[in-house]
Amino acid sequence: MMNRLRVGVLISGGGTNLQAILDACESGRLRAEVVFVGSDNPEAAGL
């Protein structure tokens, strides 16, 4: 069995790219798991 890639995602706004990554992981299109989400913007909606 192949291990999933552990990835961190940096966001600055609404998190639309984060959501796309999460959707791809959920559907199996991306063999990864998001283990970290960070931002330099404490008001980022994606947090």
What is the structure's pLDDT at 1? 59
Query: pTM for the full model?
Result: 0.87
How far is it, in rounded angstroms, from Cα 32 to Cα 24?
A: 9
Q: How far is CA 45 from CA 14, 27, 29, in A?
A: 5, 23, 25
> In degrees rounded to 5, what are phi and psi of residue 45?
-65, -25
How far is it, in rounded angstroms, from Cα 2 to Cα 43?
A: 37
Ordered by start, the domain boundaries in the chain are: 5-39
Q: How confident is the model at residue 2 (pLDDT cuts 50, 70, 90)?
A: confident
pLDDT tens profile 18-47: 999 999 999 999 999 999 999 999 999 999
